[in-house]
Amino acid sequence: MPSRARTLWLPKLVIAPSFVLSLLFIYGLMAWNGVLSLSASRMLPNYEFVGLAQYEALFESERWWVALRNLGIFGGLFVGGGMALGLLLAILLDQKIRLEGLLRTIYLYPMALSFIVTGTAWKWILNPGLGLEHLVQEWGFADFSFGWLVDPDMAIYCVVIAGIWQSAGFVMALFLAGLRGIDDSIIKAAQVDGASLPRIYWRIIIPSLRPVFFSTLMVVSHLAIKSFDLVMALTAGGPGYATDLPATFMYTMAFSRGQIGLGAASATIMLATVAAIVVPYLYSELRGTRR
């Protein structure tokens, strides 16, 4: 084989197996899930076509609406709280404080843990019998009570706390990289004009981080929509199904209740939601690259 032909085809041959496997096991399984969502599948796949019957059953399910409501609560607080705390930490570290490297490592450490570890740790911390409530009562505050983990109305906020704790360091790293990319001369010029540091950040620096805000929003929103292991480790969807999210609903229906078609329908809705977030982002990035 001539050298030029080898140079053209060898990279394609090396990449081809990974491309075929990805096409088969990612997009192929996504297509299969879509087929199952239109079928009468229950315990085992059944390819009898039933149209949108599974989707009708899905949106008639009270548990699915609880999962959607919880996703709204968790997603809003997780994304908003994580981005606000991450931005605040990034601004504090941007002041060139001492031990910046150590603090940055400490803030980033939770992101190195899996959501299973995070959920398990916070389950111990928030457990009324052995965690925060028990510790404060041992200090002499016998009337102190913090039973959110076993309260159906408050348990979802325990998931929010654990999620923000893990994601804030990652968000901080993204914002800190953006802050370090801003020209110092802009800040110095504003200071010469008499602007205070908070005003400089509010009026000049933070608006300059718009691309970072957009990218971070995409990543964190994606994490919120597909959250599964954090909930399973922390609350297992309980008490009852008070902390169900769409991902845990899908798992329960498909693998515990033997309703594969219903679980596939919920997974398709999740996929559509993620696509509604990611596709516009990819389109804007590709459009910007072409320009």
CB 109 within 8 A of CB 194: no
Task: Return all residues near 51 (Cβ < 8 A) that are at least 6 apart.
Answer: 38
What 8-state DSSP symbol labels residue 252?
Answer: I
**What's the average model confidence in pLDDT over 57-68?**
93
pLDDT score of 287: 72
Give percent of the chain with pLDDT exceeding 70: 96
pLDDT score of 35: 92
Burial of 82 (0-12, 13-18, 19+ CB in 10 A): buried
pLDDT score of 3: 63
d(CA 142, CA 149): 19
For the entire predicted model, the pTM comes to 0.86
Tell me which of 17-21, 191-195, 204-208, 273-277 is least confident. Answer: 191-195
**What's the average model confidence in pLDDT over 270-276?**
86
pLDDT score of 280: 78
Structural domains in the chain plus CATH codes: 64-290 (1.10.3720.10)
| pLDDT over 60 at 1, yes or no | no
* Identity of the amino acid at 276: A
Give the chain's mean pLDDT: 87
CB 164 within 8 A of CB 81: yes
d(CA 263, CA 37): 8
pLDDT score of 123: 92
